[in-house]
Amino acid sequence: MSTTVVEAAELEKSYLVDKSTVASWLLTTDHKRIAILYLGSITFFFFIGGIAAAAVRLNLLVPEGLIPSAETYNRLFTTHGVIMVWFFLVPAVPVSLGNFVVPLMLGARDLAFPKLNLISWYLFIIGGIIELYALFIGGVDTGWTFYPPMSTSFNQSHVVLAVIGVFVSGFSSIATGLNFIVTIHRLRAPGMTWYKMPIFLWSLYSTSVILVLATPVLAITLLLLGFERIFRIGVFDPAIGGDPILFQHMFWFYSHPAVYIMILPGFGVISEIIPVFCRRRLFGYKFVAWCSVSIAVISFFVWGHHMFVSGQSLYASVVFSLLSYAVAVPSAIKVFNWIGTMHKGFIRFDAPMLYALGFVGLFTIGGLTGLFVAALAADVHLTQTYFVVAHFHYVMVGGMVTAFFGGLHYWWPKITGRMYPEMWGRAAALIIFIGFNVTFAPQFLLGYLGMPRRYHSYPPDFQVLNVLSSAGATILAAGYLLPLGYLTWSLFRGERAPANPWGATGLEWQTPSPPPAKNFATTPVVTEPPYTFPPPELVQNRV
């Protein structure tokens, strides 16, 4: 790639003020602006999903259920699941933080396909509007898993619309994944070899591979579901010649890898934050990089662990259990490497680092409880109870959402050109950590005691733990509302951010905050491996 010099006048203007008409935002192909569009959209969906969650926790305060109608309750938890999974967790980090920093980290001017990037946002919004419309006219009560024959033959709610919403937004995932893969292959700055890429890029690369390979399977599954429901073509309902287990295989063939779509970018964010605030090179860089790739590969072969009691063959279950343990190994290795990075570091406690520490703790709990449900006989007792609910919230919320907040604080100065108020940032990180644990830790116990998930009412024996969990949810909600407040405030009042407030090493920090529309005045040239913090002569660990 040749070095291009952008005119000085053009350089001074940041991407934020480059042009300021509404159209210049809605028709932009600048990855940074698209990232902002996405950030706004996923924040909106996060709060919709959050309101549904709050209603669910409110209902469970009393054994008979505070919400009078079970049907309403069922619609609420379905809304929570559908919105959070497909309109927040799956896209969140890649489309917002990823979109913003991938080209910057690579030293590129934009993604490989800027127009495709914009189209992907529109697809996401169209899918989202369809989904919201489905909810608005009455919602869905199948659970986010849409299991037939209930969803196809025994349900009066707006299943087809909801499925179309997810279907459409899936194409936005595919577009984003494709864009990242091509960008990482083709647009790396001169000198940036694969092993000189920050781990965030390795993670997003692995994520993108899953997005591109798994999402089409979801699309087909949902399409067949729609056909069965509308035209009564027997695919899944045994009454018309279908097989309900087939649906479960197809659904989890997507939805298990989807778990890694959600968490891998989180791993990436954490692998950026920890070295910076420890002033240490990432421990075992190559291991961490290849762990992402191996997780992406193995994640395609473990879907059957969602089906240990569903009636699949015994031997299939045994194999899936073994492979599930296998996929846990690289995740465990990553945790050790993050801790190794802290060893002999110069650790600072800015908000991003607090989120990162919280992430390591919560994700470890989520991962360790995964060992329980991967052990076949233990899973028989624990599956479909609150134990599983707690387990995946530790991974998805304790892990992924915490990582998202960490990354948001970390790159906030770069994105907005303003610093967030540090004390508030730290307070929110702490409140979220506490609130999260109070909400979900009791659910492990509830699950062991046998409380089934998706219950509108429950035996009075379970009340104390449920009340505790709901109380925790209040703290958690406060923790999530805080950043909404102080980050918005900082947009207008925050201190102006320098180009590199954290003293980080990535290319994204070598351009002003906020970056100019064209990212770099001159195409940067990479000579050092990432995370070269101590002066090079002191660095002795070559991995």
Partner 1 sequence: MRLWLPAASSMSHEVDYLLIALTLIAGAVLALVFGLMLLFVFKYRAGSKVDRGALAKKTWRLESAWTAATLLVFFALFIWGANLYLRLSQPPADALTVYIVAKQWMWKAEHVGGQREINAVHVPVGRPVQLVMTSEDVIHDFAVPAFRVKHDVLPGRYDVLWFRADRPGTYDLFCTRFCGTDHAHMTGKIVVMEGPQYQQWLEQNGTSGTLVADGKVLFMRYGCNGCHGGHGTVRAPSLNGVYGSPVPLSDGTTVIADDRYLRDSILMPRSQVVASFAPVMPSFAGQISEEDLIKLIAYIKSLAPENHS
Q: Please, which residues have CB within 8 angstroms of residue 156's CB and are 6 or more apart in sequence?
A: none
Task: Return the closest-CA partner of residue 541 out of 328, 352, 340, 346.
Answer: 340
Structural contact between residues 112 and 183, judged by C-beta atoms closer than 8 angstroms: yes
Q: Which is nearer to partner 1, 426 or 454 (CB)?
A: 454
Considering only 222-230, 345-353, 416-424, 484-492, which stretch makes contact with partner 1 by CB under 8 A? 345-353
Query: At 532, is the secondary structure helix, strand, or coil?
Result: coil
User: Does 74 interact with partner 1 (rule: CB under 8 A)?
Assistant: yes
User: Does 99 interact with partner 1 (rule: CB under 8 A)?
Assistant: no
User: Does 424 interact with partner 1 (rule: CB under 8 A)?
Assistant: no
Specify the DSSP class assigned to residue 451: P
User: Does 234 interact with partner 1 (rule: CB under 8 A)?
Assistant: no
User: Does 506 interact with partner 1 (rule: CB under 8 A)?
Assistant: no
Q: Which of 199, 374, 403, 517 binds partner 1 (CB under 8 A)?
A: 374
Q: Which is nearer to partner 1, 335 or 401 (CB)?
A: 335
Q: Which is nearer to partner 1, 105 or 296 (CB)?
A: 296
User: Does 228 interact with partner 1 (rule: CB under 8 A)?
Assistant: no
User: Does 245 interact with partner 1 (rule: CB under 8 A)?
Assistant: yes
User: Does 454 interact with partner 1 (rule: CB under 8 A)?
Assistant: yes
Q: Which of 453, 499, 521, 526 binds partner 1 (CB under 8 A)?
A: 453
Q: Which of 316, 380, 484, 525 binds partner 1 (CB under 8 A)?
A: 380
Least separation in angstroms between residue 519's CB and partner 1 is 31
Q: Which residues of 88-124 are buried (b: 16+ CB within 10 A; e: fewer)?
A: bbbbbbbbbbbbbbbbbbbbbbbbbbbeebbbbbebb
Structural contact between residues 237 and 228, judged by C-beta atoms closer than 8 angstroms: yes
Length of the chain (residues): 543
Site string for partner 1, 116-145 (x = CB under 8 A): -------------------------xxx-x
> Where in 3-42 is the site for partner 1 (CB under 8 A)?
none
Number of residues that bind partner 1 (CB under 8 A): 94
User: Does 536 interact with partner 1 (rule: CB under 8 A)?
Assistant: no
Structural contact between residues 121 and 94, judged by C-beta atoms closer than 8 angstroms: no
Q: Which residues of 348-366 are buried (b: 16+ CB within 10 A; e: fewer)?
A: eebbbbbbbbbbbbbbbbb
Query: At 153, is the secondary structure helix, strand, or coil?
Result: helix
Considering only 130-138, 152-160, 259-267, 494-502, which stretch makes contact with partner 1 by CB under 8 A? 152-160
Q: Which is nearer to partner 1, 25 or 448 (CB)?
A: 448
User: Does 344 interact with partner 1 (rule: CB under 8 A)?
Assistant: yes
Structural contact between residues 350 and 282, judged by C-beta atoms closer than 8 angstroms: no
User: Does 540 interact with partner 1 (rule: CB under 8 A)?
Assistant: yes
User: Does 461 interact with partner 1 (rule: CB under 8 A)?
Assistant: yes
Q: Which amino acid is at 344?
A: K
User: Does 115 interact with partner 1 (rule: CB under 8 A)?
Assistant: no
Specify the DSSP class assigned to residue 14: B
User: Does 150 interact with partner 1 (rule: CB under 8 A)?
Assistant: yes
φ and ψ of 307, to 5 deg: -130, 25
User: Does 238 interact with partner 1 (rule: CB under 8 A)?
Assistant: yes
Long-range contacts of 356-361 (CB under 8 A, 24+ apart): 356/270, 356/273, 356/274, 356/277, 356/403, 356/406, 358/398, 358/402, 358/406, 358/429, 358/432, 358/433, 359/266, 359/270, 359/398, 359/399, 359/402, 359/403, 359/406, 360/270, 360/335, 361/398, 361/433
Q: Which of 14, 29, 294, 384 binds partner 1 (CB under 8 A)?
A: 384
Q: Which of 265, 352, 361, 398 binds partner 1 (CB under 8 A)?
A: 361
> Where in 47-66 is the site for partner 1 (CB under 8 A)?
65
Structural contact between residues 289 and 202, judged by C-beta atoms closer than 8 angstroms: yes
Q: What is the DSSP string of 30-98?
A: -HHHHHHHHHHHHHHHHHHHHHHHHHHHHHTTSTT-SSS-HHHHHHHHHHHHHHHIIIIITTHHIIIII
Q: Which is nearer to partner 1, 131 or 237 (CB)?
A: 237
User: Does 212 interact with partner 1 (rule: CB under 8 A)?
Assistant: no
Structural contact between residues 435 and 475, judged by C-beta atoms closer than 8 angstroms: yes
Q: What is the rounded distance in angstroms from the CA atom of residue 295 to the CA atom of residue 260?
A: 8
User: Does 383 interact with partner 1 (rule: CB under 8 A)?
Assistant: yes
User: Does 449 interact with partner 1 (rule: CB under 8 A)?
Assistant: yes
Site string for partner 1, 288-327 (x = CB under 8 A): --------------------xxxx--x--xx--xx--xx-
User: Does 471 interact with partner 1 (rule: CB under 8 A)?
Assistant: no
Least separation in angstroms between residue 62's CB and partner 1 is 13
Structure tokens at 233: 């073509």
Least separation in angstroms between residue 432's CB and partner 1 is 17
Q: Which of 206, 207, 364, 402 binds partner 1 (CB under 8 A)?
A: 364
User: Does 360 interact with partner 1 (rule: CB under 8 A)?
Assistant: yes
User: Does 368 interact with partner 1 (rule: CB under 8 A)?
Assistant: yes
